[in-house]
């Protein structure tokens, strides 16, 4: 009985405590919700210009461009309409007051911003806490390449840290700019940091669910003047990395240059994107999906195919672990039919310009051409548990070394080679720089195929 009595007393105490807690909650005044910002409306089909209200919308971009928006405000463009020119609203949101958003209202097709060959279709300068979604964006000039042109351009110049940017569900197409991919170059979406007096960087950038197509030059790109460190061969202005960068669920295709590039970032994430028909023009080095001057980048669950390798482009791969990086992870991606191959390890230029500690694993490469894996340099990197399928008739080299500073471990890979390509060391780098362990080689066995070290030559019994 004593035990039962103690249990009843314990339960009674618990109930009393809960009742007191509930009473305390009930007696505590509710924290008032943050007051919502104001909504402003644009209907570029309206006959007369209004004041920006739902009953009296602006009928051009001049109205919102003259407005300094406040935290929590939203700018809404009417579906089924087209606005000409550049959208450059002013103001910033805040952590306390909320972001400023640009979105669509009404029914029908996405509202269109047609810049008509201006430098930018949507432009933000030294602003933060912005979210832009559900718009169609074009920027087509009369002469392709006459000047830099962009769909979305977000800039910080001697600003410090800019926080919270979300670009989602945009349909950006037909941006016919020049071939520059610098801080003021041409792209569908470009985030850029300018200036040399105040170290500046972006924090919390999410680019999600956009379609970016028919672009000269880059699809989704990033650039900064605050980029220097020994791993890229310079020291000033000092590397000021961006944080919280996520590029996911985008479809990028038919770009003259790169598909998706993350730069000057720490722990960026590139996932669930599809990039095809990148690098269509004959210009400088381009690839499908890659990062540069960034540490800890994870590139996963992407598909890259049809990347071109025209004259002037030494790359043309689906994926690239470029120099100036440490700790890049490339995993669970599908690469196929890329003219320059599956993967580039680029310690381009030698010296300290290296990619270090990269991990490439669990990827599938199918019918990638020229050279499936191209070694231009790495340090302490690994390539394991990947599947490479080279069909009959292919002349692609499985592995090609054409640069210095190489150090790579290749283990547990499945290489199904029905083509006539080989393992080629074109730069005089010894095969001993590469550690091959426990790999499966099936099909044709060219003269340069690595021997020993646990090799398997049995049929891997692929399902398809």
Same domain, 184 and 82: yes
pLDDT digits (tens, 9 = 90+) for 21-79: 333 333 333 333 334 799 999 999 999 999 999 999 999 999 999 999 999 999 999 99
Residue 12 lies in a domain: no
pLDDT at 404: 67
Domain containing 81 equals 39-226
Choose the final residue of a domain: 226, 248, 283. 226
Residue 186 lies in a domain: yes
Same domain, 438 and 344: yes
Same domain, 416 and 303: yes
Structure tokens at 130: 């912005």
pLDDT at 9: 41
pLDDT at 8: 39
Choose the final residue of a domain: 184, 203, 226. 226
Same domain, 314 and 463: yes
Choose the final residue of a domain: 193, 226, 259. 226
Instruction: List Cβ neighbours of 63 (8 Å cut-off, separation of 6 or more).
Output: 40, 42, 49, 50, 52
Q: ∠ CA(37), CA(167), CA(53), 5° rounding?
A: 35
Residue 268 lies in a domain: no
pLDDT digits (tens, 9 = 90+) for 358-381: 999 999 999 999 999 999 888 899
Same domain, 218 and 87: yes
pLDDT at 23: 35
Residue 278 lies in a domain: no
pLDDT of residue 170 exceeding 90? yes
Residue 245 lies in a domain: no
pLDDT digits (tens, 9 = 90+) for 189-199: 999 999 999 99
Same domain, 51 and 146: yes
Same domain, 298 and 213: no
Same domain, 214 and 321: no
* Cβ contact 135:173 at 8 Å: no
pLDDT of residue 402 exceeding 90? no
Distance, in Å, from the CA atom of 44 to the CA atom of 299, rounded to the nearest integer, reads: 40
Distance, in Å, from the CA atom of 108 to the CA atom of 8, rounded to the nearest integer, reads: 64
Query: What is residue 16's three-state secondary structure?
Result: helix
pLDDT of residue 450 exceeding 80? yes
| Bridge partners (DSSP) listed for residue 401 | 375, 425
Residue 341 lies in a domain: yes
Distances (CA, A) of 351 to 92, 194, 217, 232, 321: 43, 28, 30, 10, 17
Sheet holding 397-401, edge to edge: 120-125, 150-157, 187-194, 218-224, 260-263, 289-292, 319-321, 343-346, 371-376, 397-401, 423-425
pLDDT digits (tens, 9 = 90+) for 243-264: 999 999 999 999 999 999 999 9
On the CB side of 58, CA atoms within 13 Å amount to 20
Residue 274 lies in a domain: no
Same domain, 77 and 213: yes
pLDDT of residue 339 exceeding 90? yes
Domain count for the chain, please give it: 2
pLDDT digits (tens, 9 = 90+) for 265-318: 999 999 999 999 999 998 889 999 999 999 999 999 999 999 999 999 999 999
Neighbours of 10 (CB within 10 A): 10
- Between these two residues, 19 and 330, which has the higher pLDDT value? 330
pLDDT at 197: 98
pLDDT digits (tens, 9 = 90+) for 375-386: 988 889 999 999
Distance, in Å, from the CA atom of 424 to the CA atom of 314, rounded to the nearest integer, reads: 17
Distance, in Å, from the CA atom of 447 to the CA atom of 125, rounded to the nearest integer, reads: 57
């Amino acid at each position: 009985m004593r035990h039962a009595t103690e249990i009843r007393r314990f339960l009674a105490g618990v109930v009393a405590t809960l009742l007191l807690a509930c009473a305390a909650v009930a007696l505590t005044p509710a924290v008032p919700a943050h007051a919502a910002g104001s909504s402003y409306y644009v209907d570029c089909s309206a006959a007369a210009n209004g004041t920006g209200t739902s009953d009296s919308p602006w009928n051009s971009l001049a109205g919102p461009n003259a407005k300094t928006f406040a935290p929590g405000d939203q700018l809404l463009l009417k579906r089924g309409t087209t606005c000409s020119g550049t959208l450059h609203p002013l103001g910033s949101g805040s952590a306390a007051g909320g972001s400023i958003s640009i979105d669509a209202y009404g029914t029908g097709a996405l509202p269109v911003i047609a810049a008509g060959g201006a430098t930018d279709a949507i432009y933000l300068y030294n602003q933060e806490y912005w979210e832009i979604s559900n718009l169609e964006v074009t920027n087509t000039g009369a002469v392709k390449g006459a000047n830099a042109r962009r769909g979305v351009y977000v800039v910080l110049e001697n600003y410090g840290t800019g926080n919270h940017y979300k670009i989602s569900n945009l349909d950006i197409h037909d941006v016919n700019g020049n071939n520059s991919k610098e801080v003021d170059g041409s792209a569908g979406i470009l985030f850029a940091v300018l200036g040399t007096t105040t170290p500046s960087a972006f924090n919390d950038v999410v680019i999600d669910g956009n379609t970016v197509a028919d672009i000269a030059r880059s699809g989704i790109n990033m650039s900064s003047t605050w980029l220097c460190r020994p791993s890229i061969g310079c020291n000033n202005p000092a590397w000021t990395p961006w944080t919280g960068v996520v590029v996911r669920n985008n479809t990028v295709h038919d770009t003259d240059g790169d598909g998706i590039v993350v730069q000057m970032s720490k722990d960026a994430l590139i996932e669930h994107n599809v990039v095809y028909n990148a690098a269509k023009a004959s210009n400088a080095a381009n690839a499908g999906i890659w990062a540069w001057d960034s540490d800890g980048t994870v590139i996963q669950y992407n598909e890259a195919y049809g990347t071109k390798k025209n004259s002037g482009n030494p790359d043309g791969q689906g994926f690239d672990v470029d120099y100036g990086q440490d700790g890049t992870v490339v995993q669970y991606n599908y690469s196929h039919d890329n003219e320059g191959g599956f993967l580039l390890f680029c310690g381009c230029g030698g010296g300290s310009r290296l990619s270090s500690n990269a991990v490439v694993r669990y990827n599938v490469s199918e019918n990638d051409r020229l050279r499936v894996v191209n070694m231009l340099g790495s340090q302490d990197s690994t390539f394991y548990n990947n599947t490479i399928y080279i069909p009959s008739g292919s002349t692609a080299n499985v592995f090609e070394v054409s640069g210095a500073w190489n150090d790579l471990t290749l283990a547990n890979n499945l290489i199904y080679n029905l083509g006539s390509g080989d393992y080629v060391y074109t730069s005089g780098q010894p095969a001993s720089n590469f550690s091959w362990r426990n790999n499966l080689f099936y099909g044709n066995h060219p003269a340069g195929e690595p021997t020993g070290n646990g090799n398997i030559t049995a049929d891997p019994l692929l399902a398809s």
